[in-house]
Amino acid sequence: MNFRTLLLAVAALSCAALTGWLVNGWLDRQRAHMAGQPAPAAAPELEILVARKPLGAGTILQPGHLEWRAWPRGGLIPAYALKGSKTPADFTGSVVRRGLATGEPLTAERVVKPGEGGFLAAVLTPGMRAVSVPLKADTGVSGLVLPGDRVDLIVTHQMNEKVGAENERVLRRGSETVLSDLRVIAIGQKTHDEKGQAMVAKTATLEVTSRQAEVVALAVELGKISLSLRSLVVDGAAPQAAAMTLTRDTDISRMLRRPQQSTEQVVQVLRGQSARSGGLLGALK
């Protein structure tokens, strides 16, 4: 190897070392610059309305039934209720058409809103019927019966009763519980009341079986209908059916009760020219 070749080799190695040093310094400066900058902000997550708990078909939606949940952008479809475009209040009072599992997204196709076709049918439990009864403030617990409550149905009517030996006709009044534990699905034309305020309406719509619907129709013709509000059932406890009780006016007013007539037979006893009348036991003495 001559001197010229050796000089070229030393120069090439020097250039390579210098280049490596310059590149390494540039990389260090870039790392320091990037470390001093804040991390880029994450893309905001989209939130949609989902069921907070299992909601069966026929459930009347309340704000507590729904909640917001983050959802990946890639899994979004136009039918979902996005935060910013919808609110839980938009669905309050709607009825679940098909059941929703916990965390399942809510869509307009899964519910039916008041005023839409098939709304009342969606409220009803499968196999049940809807029937309305007339109401007044004094027969509807002063308007404190709300949709979703459970009530007993009482009918008060008048009747003519024959009393006494002469079959005197007397007007009697009585009341009886004819049906119990009925679900109220509407008061007037409202199926929910967001504020929980009293609603004095002219009718109440009840959920009944087909047989109970016949009983209600006849009870309305017999007399005045009243609703008796039942207590809310504690979770895990089965509702107890009310006894079919009957109360007459004579059960609550002593003034309407007549003294019982003696059932002892009266006979007439002849002794010679005299006659005496009295009870059977006394006349034989």
Quote the longest CA-to-CA distance of the chain.
186
Closest CA to 260 of 187, 163, 177: 163
* Residues 171 and 248: beta-carbon distance below 8 Å: no
Distance of CA 120 to the CA centre of its chain: 13
Q: Which CATH architecture fits 46-121?
A: Alpha-Beta Complex (3.90)
Parallel, antiparallel or unpaired: strands 266-271 and 274-279? antiparallel
Q: How would you class 118 by CB atoms within 10 Å of its CB: exposed for 0-12, middle for 13-18, buried for 19 or more? A: exposed
**pLDDT by 10s per residue, the chain, length 285:** 576 777 777 777 787 777 877 777 777 777 777 776 665 555 556 899 999 999 988 788 888 899 999 988 888 888 899 988 888 888 888 888 888 999 999 988 888 887 777 777 877 888 899 999 988 776 666 667 888 889 999 999 888 877 766 777 788 888 999 999 999 888 887 665 555 555 667 888 999 999 999 999 999 999 999 998 888 765 445 555 556 778 887 788 777 766 554 455 555 666 666 655 555 445 445
What are the structural domain ranges in the chain? Answer: 46-121, 128-256
